Structure 1
Amino acid sequence: MAIASNGPQGHLNGKVGNLVFYMLNGQPVVRLIGRKGKPSILQLANYQGMAVTTKLLSRMGGFIKLGYGLQARGTVHNAHNLATSYHKKQALKGEYPNISIDYSKVKLSQGLMSETKDLKINKVSGGLEISWDPRDYADLSYNDSVMVMICCPETGKDREYLNIARRSEGKCFIPLFEEVLNQQIEPYISFISADGAMVSDSVYLGNLNGEGLNEIEKQQQVKYQQVKSRFDQLEGSYSRQLKENYGEIPKTKAFKCLEKEYKAVQKQLLHLPGKPG
């Protein structure tokens, strides 16, 4: 049952048939509910696109709040809504069921602050060094804060630094263990004014170490290793029995079964994706 708390001409709150009425950020909203039929390919692509986008943004909540918060002020949207809308439309690549993130198009902040010059990133001993032009230009100030996002797609253990340095310092250092330093890294940098009134567009600093395995490739690699492990067991048993029989093929039913499985797994292994290297 829905309630018209502001009279018959007011917005409903509750359920009427297969419609649900409610308030969202001060705005009246109505949505349809009910049993869904079998989804089309376009719907499945939309679901996967949203899932991929949500997974990306879920690991960088603090950065998104600052990076899109100014845009969200005075609107019915919040920072996460705006970031989700942008990335789902602009930062995905591939077709269903292989939709993934195009990290070169990721924008973790959007604002009116001018672009910072001479941005560079280098791998150094023990981590990453990021540098920029520290001088003041127009709306750029020495005490602007520096925000850095280090995305690690292979492990999902991203790192966000919301106030790692001041613009006047001209550089910052991100300590990373050697294991992390040698995996796929997608780094971003933004600048925000000391009073939080202005923010720059984030800048993609470029991929480090190439692209790691995606989810499908990881699954293929796991499957290959499982089959390879079984093949090694069969090969050891097959070779041992031949040796014990002085190279002659045993006539037993057990050996025939072993030989049949051995050859089948050997053939499967030849054509199975996921082989290392």
Structure 2
Amino acid sequence: MAIASNGPHGHLNGKVGNLVFYMLNGQPVVRLIGRKGKPSTLQLANYQEMAVTTKLLSGMGGFIKLGYGLQARGTVHNAHNLATSYHKKQALTGEYPNIRIDYSKVKVSQGHMPETADLKIEKLAGGLEITWDPTPTTDLQHNDSVMVMICCPESGKDREYLNIARRSEGKCFIPMYEEALNQQIEPYISFISADGEKVSDSVYLGNLNGTGKNASEKQEEEKYQRVKTRFDQLESNYSAQLKANYGEIPKNKAFKTLEKEYKVLKKQLEHLPGKPG
């Protein structure tokens, strides 16, 4: 049951039939509810896009709050909504079921502060050193804070540094153990004014150590190989029985069971993630 708390012409709050009415960030919203049918390939792709985007942003909560917060001011959106929208539309690559992140297009902050010159990253013994031009200008102040985001796709242990240095220092050092230092690293840097009223677009500092595979991707590959191995066995048996029967489909129950599993696995392999290449 829905309640018209503001009178018969006001916005409802609650459920009417298969519609739900509620307020979101001060705006009246209505959505449809009900049982879902079998999802289409486009729907499955959309689900995977959202899952991949959500996983990317899950370790960036503080960074996203600062990096997109200024954009969200005065709107019905929040920082996380804006970051999700950008990355789902702009930072994904590949086709379902192999949609993944294009780290070169990730933006952990968006703003109007000009880009800082001479940004560089170097892998040293015991960690990463990031350097930049510390020269202040009208729009770049010596006391701007430096924010660094380190994404580690293989381990999933992303790190956010929201105030690691001041612009005037010209460099910062991020200590890392050797194992983490030698895995895939995707680093980003942003600058934010001391009063929090201006932020820069983040800059991608470039991939370190190439592209590895995270735990989820390894599991997907292992599952794909298990299914592929079983399918290859069935395919060989299936083809042999057809050949022995001169191309005619055998009518016995054993072949029907074999054919059913063969077709199920064949279709499953078409959409199963983890396919090599």
Instruction: Output the TM-score relative to the length of structure 1.
Output: 0.79
Q: Give yes or no for contact 2:155–2:214 (8 Å, CA) kept in 1.
A: no
1:114 aligned onto 2:148: no
Unaligned runs of 5+ in 2: 227-273
Matched residue, 1:192: 192
Residue 215 of structure 1, CA deviation: 5.8
Correspondence 1:122-271 to 2 at 5 A: 122-213=122-213, 217-219=217-219, 222=222
Could you say if the C-alpha distance between residues 218 and 38 of structure 1 is closer, same or farther in structure 2, counting changes exceeding 3 Å? same
Unaligned runs of 5+ in 1: 227-273
Amino acid at match of 2:122: N
Amino acid at match of 2:124: V
* Aligned residues: CA RMSD: 1.7
Residue 219 of structure 1, CA deviation: 2.5
Could you say if the C-alpha distance between residues 82 and 223 of structure 1 is closer, same or farther in structure 2, counting changes exceeding 3 Å? closer
1:5 aligned onto 2:17: no
Amino acid at match of 1:122: E
Q: Give yes or no for contact 2:109–2:200 (8 Å, CA) kept in 1.
A: yes
Residue 137 of structure 1, CA deviation: 2.0
Could you say if the C-alpha distance between residues 97 and 220 of structure 1 is closer, same or farther in structure 2, counting changes exceeding 3 Å? closer
Matched residue, 2:87: 87
Residues in 2 aligned to 1:125 and 1:215: alpha-carbon distance in whole angstroms: 26
2:189 aligned counterpart, secondary structure = strand
Residue 221 of structure 1, CA deviation: 6.1
Larger Rg: 1
Matched residue, 2:253: none
2:180 aligned counterpart, secondary structure = helix
Residues in 2 aligned to 1:124 and 1:90: alpha-carbon distance in whole angstroms: 32
Correspondence 1:47-58 to 2 at 5 A: 47-58=47-58
Residues in 1 aligned to 2:42 and 2:170: alpha-carbon distance in whole angstroms: 47
Residues in 1 aligned to 2:220 and 2:41: alpha-carbon distance in whole angstroms: 23
Residues in 2 aligned to 1:220 and 1:32: alpha-carbon distance in whole angstroms: 33
Residues in 1 aligned to 2:73 and 2:140: alpha-carbon distance in whole angstroms: 22
Matched residue, 2:260: none
Residue 37 of structure 1, CA deviation: 0.4
Amino acid at match of 2:59: R
Instruction: Output the TM-score relative to the length of structure 2.
Output: 0.79
Residues in 1 aligned to 2:156 and 2:147: alpha-carbon distance in whole angstroms: 19
Matched residue, 1:43: 43
Could you say if the C-alpha distance between residues 216 and 79 of structure 1 is closer, same or farther in structure 2, counting changes exceeding 3 Å? closer
Residue 155 of structure 1, CA deviation: 0.8
Matched residue, 1:32: 32
**Deviation string, structure 1 residues 25-80 (Cα, Å, up to 9, x no partner):** 00000000000000000000000000000000011100000000000000000000
Amino acid at match of 2:97: P
Amino acid at match of 1:42: L
Count of matched residue positions in the alignment of Structure 1 and Structure 2: 227
Matched residue, 2:246: none
Residues in 2 aligned to 1:172 and 1:213: alpha-carbon distance in whole angstroms: 28
Could you say if the C-alpha distance between residues 224 and 94 of structure 1 is closer, same or farther in structure 2, counting changes exceeding 3 Å? closer
Could you say if the C-alpha distance between residues 216 and 98 of structure 1 is closer, same or farther in structure 2, counting changes exceeding 3 Å? farther
2:165 aligned counterpart, secondary structure = strand
